[in-house]
Amino acid sequence: MPELKTVSLFFLTALAEIVGCYLPYLWLREGKSIWLLVPAVLSLAAFAWLLSLHPQAAGRVYAAYGGVYVCMAILWLWAVDGIRPTVWDFMGSGVALLGMAIIMFAPRGA
Q: What is the mean pLDDT of residues 73-98?
A: 97
The pLDDT of 84-110, averaged and rounded, is: 93
How far is it, in rounded angstroms, from Cα 108 to Cα 89?
31
d(CA 82, CA 95): 23
Per-residue pLDDT of 42-69, as tens digits, reads 999 999 999 999 888 888 898 999 999 9
CA–CA separation, 2 and 89 (whole Å):
28
pLDDT of residue 54: 86
- Report the pLDDT averaged over residues 74-96: 97
pLDDT in tens, 13-32: 999 999 999 999 999 999 99
φ, ψ of residue 72 in degrees (nearest 5): -65, -35
Mean pLDDT calculated for residue range 71-87: 96
- The whole-number average pLDDT for the span 81-106 is 95
